[in-house]
């Protein structure tokens, strides 16, 4: 390379090429984060061929300087302590703007010895990890700076700076911030997780964060037919070439038409699918009953009921005091909604404090179903009828 190349780079100052290069490199970094760090290392939901693991580790070293053990530990802690004071990055606790704009700082601040020891187990500890990736964590991104300059000259410094900002902003800021603040929920998981957007291309499927918190051990993040997880699309391609193998996907529950007996399999199927069951309860029981109650209600009660749809369907763990107050006002006025809400809480309580005694839980579940049917409320009766058809699929 002569002086001209160093100033203008081998490719030269070309905006289209710079853009293509930038988008491709940052996308590969995201693929490495979601497939290797997230689904493979933190959740063990995906097996990857050792060659692919090494490739992703090298990509992450070159593009982020993040260490697998640290990322894995912080992320597992996030799942273990979601929306509590100990959550490394909760917008519910720290505020959305803080996580959005300083997500990477929260990530770095959360790295401590105790967290790494407790949550970082089973991560790479081979020669290259000890002597290169962990020891010289920031030399990889420095090498990337020189590559960018070699390709695009002085303009390469700008590209490099954008690469350094891009991934932490979208990963640590948007997924951790927006993913727990704004978006839609498919499931009533006991946290504030949201699906940011149903088409997960830009963040490689990490957009589907409520689905992921509901089924953290699943290698596939899309659940609804209209949702798309490009990370899963890549997994399918890699699986075809025997480079990847999904260990878990979402819990499989089957239903047997006409089945009305409640046995242990019914109970396990319902527990496995409990967040989906609770969102079905909202859709099939809470919302239609609210609609019924709106008929003939005065304007003040109608206003109360409008907001009631959301708060009466949410997991009690994510409710603020004002939400609970709101529910109290509604249930004081409507005996039907009061009963429905009490039953919602008691259904949740069956698996919330799992004592480990399966027979006891089964008895509680059967009693719950009978109580729900005895209310005489039509929506509840249909809901229980559906629940009775649940079972776990027979292994062949
Ligand atoms: Zn989360
Ligand atoms: Zn996760």
Q: What pLDDT is recorded for position 5? A: 62
The C-alpha angle 230, 318, 265, rounded to 5 degrees, equals 70
Q: What pLDDT is recorded for position 325? A: 93
Helices 50-63, 139-152: crossing angle, 10 deg rounding? 70
CA 181 – ligand 1 centroid, Å: 10
CA 167 – ligand 2 centroid, Å: 17
Between the CA of residue 219 and those of 205, 230, 259, what are the distances in Å? 11, 12, 31
Residue 356 vs residue 328, higher pLDDT: 328
When pLDDT is cut at 50, 70 and 90, the band that residue 281 belongs to is very high
Q: Average pLDDT, stretch 367-377?
A: 94
CA 182 – ligand 2 centroid, Å: 18
pLDDT tens digits along 203-230 = 999 999 999 999 998 999 999 999 999 9
CA 90 – ligand 1 centroid, Å: 8
CA 77 – ligand 1 centroid, Å: 10
Cβ 112 vs Cβ 73: under 8 Å: no
Q: What pLDDT is recorded for position 69? A: 96
Residue 5 C-alpha from the chain's centroid: 45
Supply 89's token pair. Answer: 């990055």
Which stretches within 9-138 are classed as H helix?
A: 15-31, 50-63, 68-80, 91-94, 96-109, 113-119, 127-128
Q: What pLDDT is recorded for position 356? A: 64
pLDDT tens digits along 83-105 = 888 888 888 888 888 888 888 88
Asked whether the predicted pLDDT for residue 382 surpasses 80, the reply is yes
Between 52-66, 202-216, 313-327, the lowest mean confidence (pLDDT) is in 313-327
Neighbours of 253 (CB within 10 A): 19
Q: Give the domain ranges of the chain.
A: 3-246, 255-391
When pLDDT is cut at 50, 70 and 90, the band that residue 260 belongs to is very high
CA 177 – ligand 1 centroid, Å: 8
CA gap 178, 169 in Å, rounded: 11
Smallest-distance ligand from the CA of 41: 2
CA 78 – ligand 1 centroid, Å: 7
Q: Parallel, antiparallel, or unpaired: how do β-strands 199-200 and 228-229 relate?
A: parallel
Q: What is the mean pLDDT of the chain?
A: 91
CA gap 296, 278 in Å, rounded: 28
Residue 23 vs residue 96, higher pLDDT: 23
Cβ 302 vs Cβ 294: under 8 Å: yes
Cβ 347 vs Cβ 384: under 8 Å: no
Q: Average pLDDT, stretch 283-294?
A: 93
């Amino acid at each position: 390379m002569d002086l001209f190349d160093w100033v203008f780079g081998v490719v030269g100052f070309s905006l289209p090429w710079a853009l293509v290069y930038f988008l491709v490199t940052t996308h590969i970094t995201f693929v490495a984060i979601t497939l290797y760090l997230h689904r493979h290392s933190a959740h063990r939901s995906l097996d990857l061929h050792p060659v692919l693991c090494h490739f992703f580790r090298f990509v992450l070293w070159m593009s982020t300087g993040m260490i697998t053990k640290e990322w894995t530990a912080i992320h597992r802690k996030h799942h273990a302590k979601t929306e509590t004071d100990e959550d490394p990055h909760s917008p519910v606790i720290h505020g959305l703007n803080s996580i959005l704009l300083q997500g990477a700082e929260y990530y770095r601040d959360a790295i401590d010895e105790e967290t790494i020891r407790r949550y970082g187990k089973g991560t790479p500890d081979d020669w290259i990890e000890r002597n290169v990736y962990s020891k010289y964590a920031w030399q990889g991104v420095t090498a990337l700076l020189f590559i960018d300059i070699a390709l695009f000259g002085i303009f390469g410094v700008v590209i490099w700076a954008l690469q350094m900002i891009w991934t932490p902003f979208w990963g640590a800021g948007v997924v951790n911030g927006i993913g727990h603040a704004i978006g839609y929920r498919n499931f009533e998981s006991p946290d504030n997780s949201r699906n940011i957007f149903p088409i997960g291309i830009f963040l490689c499927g990490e957009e589907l964060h409520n689905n992921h918190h509901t089924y953290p051990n699943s290698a596939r993040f899309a659940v609804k037919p209209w949702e798309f997880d490009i990370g899963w699309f890549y997994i399918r391609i890699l699986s075809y070439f025997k480079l990847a193998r999904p260990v878990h996907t979402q819990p499989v529950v089957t239903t047997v038409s006409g089945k009305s007996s409640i046995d242990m399999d019914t109970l396990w199927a319902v527990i496995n699918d409990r967040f989906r069951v609770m969102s079905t309860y909202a859709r099939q029981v809470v919302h239609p009953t609210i609609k019924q109650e709106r008929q003939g209600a005065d304007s003040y009660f109608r206003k109360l009921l409008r907001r009631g749809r959301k708060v009466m369907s949410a997991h009690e763990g994510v409710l603020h005091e004002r939400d609970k107050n709101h529910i109290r006002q509604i249930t004081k006025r409507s005996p039907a909604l009061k009963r429905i809400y009490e039953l919602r809480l008691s259904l949740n309580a069956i698996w919330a404090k799992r004592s480990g005694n399966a027979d006891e839980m089964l008895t509680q579940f059967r009693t719950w179903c009978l109580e729900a049917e005895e209310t005489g409320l039509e929506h509840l009766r249909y809901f229980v009828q559906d629940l009775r058809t649940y079972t776990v699929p027979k292994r062949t």
